[in-house]
Amino acid sequence: MSATAKPPVVAKPPTAEASPGRGALRRNLPPARRFLAGRKRALVRLGGWSLLESAQTFLGGYCLAQALDRGFLAGETGTGLLWLAVAAASILGAGPPMRGVFAQLAELTEPLRDALVRRAVRQALRRALTDPARTDDRSDTGAVSRLTHQTEIVRDSFAGLVLTVRAFVFNAVGALIGLLALAPELLLVVLPPLVLGIALFLATLLPMASAQRDFLDADEAVAEGVGAVSAGHRDLVACGAQADAAERTGRLIDVAERTSRVLARWAALRTVALGVAGQLPVLLLLVTTPWLLRQGVTTGALAGALTYLLQALLPTLHSMMTALGAAGTRLLVVVDRFQDATAVPVPPKVPAPAPAADADRPLGRRPSRTVPAVEVRDVTHAYGPDSPPVLERLHLTVRRGEHIAVVGPSGIGKSTLAGVVSGLVAPDDGTVLLGGEPVTGRTARDLADRRVLIPQQAYVFTGSVRDNLLHLRPDATSRELAHAVGTLGAEPLVHRLGGPDAVLDPRSLSHGERQLLALCRAYLSAAPLVLLDEATCHLDPAAEARAERAFAERAFTDGTRARDGALIVVAHRLSSARRADRVLVLDGTTPRFGTHEELLTSSALYRDLFGHWQQTPSPPVGR
């Protein structure tokens, strides 16, 4: 009967003043500095072991240059081999430094993981103590995710960043010292594009983090919005909210598309930065080789410079940029979730869409009291060309203010009749009039203004209790809301859920509780015609009777907004027929329509149904 869950609001394009990436960085930098400041000893030892790696990088290019210049090119083969042996020894000696690096890395990553686990536990306990109404399965799942999956993401991402950044920094130190030792002119060629590319890459880090988070928020919003629409498809059609749902979903998809394009642009700029820092130095070195030779740079020095670039600088630079771009962004987003006391991501807001041209139009002319609320004229409907008609040449007139019940065996066409009257099912033949105007050709919104249909499977969505109850009439006052809840006996349920502003989890509700909330929502609707299609089947008989009496009265407490319509109940129990003004009996051949007393005389089927019901009354169904 309702439309669907209000889709999550979607993100604005990130701005320089308040982008998620920059905000996350500002929040996380002070704790990061405190964490690193408390582990200076581990950092010093890590730097010491890494200096040995710088020495190995230096020796790799320098020994090759000396082997060529002083050895092979000078005709001293033994000297050349000796220099190559020194380079090989430096490579073979890289094992102990790497073992020391990983040992110190554990001194950084394991305390970080332990700190995050403690923070996640504190957050979960604080949330449970300060706001127990909002502590549900979803928040428990989030706490477990932070204790396990997200802490492992942080630890692995942090370890990868430390390793790659450390490798680039110390390899760059060894390579630049080597270039300076071979020929200072080499630095004039290599250093400018290297610095330019790294600066360009660093400039993309924060915007890339913002774009990544915006994209993730938009993607989650699309998934949640589409899931809500899929789950409530029947109710969307029943309420005539297809256009609104399509518009909302379209806006979510448009925002997701925009964020993906922004992310792609920053990724392209990052690729340019990698090319400038990683490939341009090699290209410039080759182009300027004649000039370098004229400046006295030796062949061995050129070979050593290429060795530094191709074997040390470029691989570590590529690894660092990749790690910072992927693991760094992921680390920033996940750690930021630990900073939030609730750790539940809240998508940023987007400006409300411009109202439709007819948003403020009146609901329509009130029909005259002399015009019936519902007229079904010679309606025939079958579910297929070769199927027997479910409804055949049916006539029905429901007067204004009248309460009727529809009874009959299962599968006889009661729900089909409700669908035909509400405009959800187009009959094969015949006409249906609501307030004297045909259902055919009306927009979904116009139909929603004229009738409200509550199906057997009541639909509620994730959101506040208030949002669920006011979904069909958002402008209802708090007094009207309280009156609807009280009239239908839903106060204990609303109180148990935590009040009107509590967050509602549909999975925690029984079928009867869902039906009770749906009934309150329909009671607040301004639609004059109410159709209950076994909408109380999961309520006990007393609650069912109370709901039907409330809808039959059809007025708010202030008396200014009488429904001035009708109530049609597809009966689950025969007690509904006793309460109705008139009863329609569908038997598949000759429908009967009259009061309870008249049908006991004129309809054998009704006598049988009523007699059987009296002998074996339906047991109460718990909520």
- This prediction has a pTM of 0.46
Torsion of CA 508, 510, 516, 521, to 10 degrees: 40
Give pLDDT, residue 426.
Answer: 87
| DSSP H stretches of helix in 10-94 | 20-37, 40-66, 77-92
Sheet holding 403-407, edge to edge: 451-454, 529-533, 566-570, 403-407, 582-585, 592-594
- Lookup result for tokens 């504190």: 122
Running along the chain, 623 residues long, what does each successive block of 10 average in pLDDT? 36 38 50 68 82 86 91 90 90 76 75 70 62 45 50 70 83 90 92 90 80 77 75 63 78 88 86 86 92 92 90 83 66 57 37 37 42 89 82 89 88 88 88 88 83 88 89 88 91 91 88 91 89 89 89 54 74 85 85 87 82 55 40
Q: From CA 5, how far away is CA 35, in angstroms rounded? A: 42
Q: From CA 353, how far away is CA 110, in angstroms rounded? A: 48
- Lookup result for tokens 């089927």: 605
Q: From CA 301, how far away is CA 63, in angstroms rounded? A: 10
- Which residues lie below 8 Å from residue 442, measured CB to CB, with a gap of 6+? 423, 450
Q: From CA 326, how far away is CA 71, in angstroms rounded? A: 45
Start-to-end CA distance of the chain, whole Å, equals 19
In degrees, to the nearest 5, what angle opens at C-alpha 415 toward C-alphas 414 and 419?
120
Number of Cα atoms under 13 Å in the Cβ half of residue 263: 21
Give pLDDT, residue 444.
Answer: 80
Helix (H) or strand (E) holding 463: strand 463-464
Give pLDDT, residue 132.
Answer: 47
Q: What is the 3-state secondary structure (H, E, C) of 550-595?
A: HHHHCCCCCCCCCCCCEEEEECCCCHHHHHCCEEEECCCCCCEEEC
C-alpha distances in Å from residue 83, one per residue of 50, 53, 61, 380: 23, 18, 11, 99
Question: 132: how many CB neighbours lie within 10 A of its CB?
Answer: 10
Beta strand pairing status for 429-434 and 437-438? antiparallel
Q: What is the 3-state secondary structure (H, E, C) of 263-290?
A: HHHHHHHHHHHHHHHHCHHHHHHHHCHH
Give pLDDT, residue 274.
Answer: 82
